[in-house]
Amino acid sequence: MMKIARLNSEPEIFYSLQGEGVRAGVPAVFLRLAGCNLSCRWCDTKYSWRDGVELAVPAVAERLHAYACRSLVITGGEPLLQQPALEALLSLLPQDFYVEVETNGTLRPSSVLAARVNQWNVSPKLPHAGNGHASPLLPEVLAFFASLPGAWFKFVVRGEEDWPAIAALGLPLERLVLMPCAASLPELQSARPAVAELCLRHHCRFGDRLHVAIWNDRKGV
C-alpha cells in the first residue's frame, strides 16, 4: 500500500507543469505522498503530513498510466519514508517514464531507487525552516546524493545570511539551485530580487517557483 496525500477528499495525483528546479516548465504527472519526518514552518503542503489516503500500488500505477505523459514527479511530504512501496510502483512503470523525486535529503535511497530514479531534487532545510535543535543537514546523506549524476540541490533561501550554511556543505556549485522562500505570488515578487543577487554573487542557478507565479497559492496544480 501507498499513503498518498489527501486533497479535497481525493488522493493527490494530478497533471501540471513542473514548477521548480532544472526541469521547470516541463509537463508532468505529480504524485504527492503523505507523511514527513520534518516540520518546516513555511511548508506550503502541511496537509500532506497527515495520514492521507491508502491505495494499493497497482491502483496507483493504473492512475499514472491514465495520463498521456511519461514524466513523473514524486513529491510529498517525504517520499523516501515509503521506499518499499516506491520500488514496487516504479517496477510497474515502463522504463521510458522519466522519474523525478523531491526529497529533503535526510534519508538515503535504496540501491534500487538510486538506479531507477532519473533525477533527485534534493532540498536540504536551512535553520530558518524551524526544525528544532537537531539539524536536518546530514552531510553523509547529501554526499551520497552528490555522487549520483542526476541529483540537484535546491535550497529555499531568504538572502545572504543563508550562504554560509550552504557553502559549508561542500556540494557541487554547478548543481545548486537557490529558490525564494515564498508560497504566494506577492511573497514571490518580493523575495525574488534578494535571491537573484545571491545567485549572481555566488555563481549559482536561480530557481523560480513557476506554479506560484502562474497559480498563486492554489493546491493541486
Domain boundaries, the chain: 2-215
- Percentage above 70 pLDDT, the chain: 99
* Res 130 pLDDT > 90: no
pLDDT of residue 135: 80
Strand-pairing partners, residue 10, are 7
* Res 195 pLDDT > 80: yes
Q: What pTM did the predictor assign?
A: 0.96
* Average pLDDT over every residue of 32-56: 94
Q: Tell me: the pLDDT tens digits for 53-98? A: 999 999 999 999 999 999 999 999 999 999 999 999 999 999 999 9
pLDDT of residue 211: 93
* Average pLDDT over every residue of 141-154: 97
* Res 133 pLDDT > 80: no
pLDDT of residue 175: 98
Residue 147 and residue 51 in contact, taking contact as beta carbons nearer than 8 Å: no
Write the DSSP string, the chain. Answer: -EEE-EETTEE-EEEEE--SSTTTT-EEEEEEB---S---TT-S-GGGGS--EEE-HHHHHHHHHTSS--EEEEESS-GGGGHHHHHHHHHTS-TT-EEEEEE-SSSPPPHHHHHH-SEEEE-PPPGGG---SS-S--HHHHHHHHTSTTEEEEEEE-SGGGHHHHHTT---GGGEEEEE--SSHHHHHHHHHHHHHHHHHHT-EE---HHHHHHTT-S--
* Res 136 pLDDT > 70: yes
* Average pLDDT over every residue of 126-146: 90
CATH architecture label of 2-215: Alpha-Beta Barrel (3.20)
* Average pLDDT over every residue of 105-110: 98
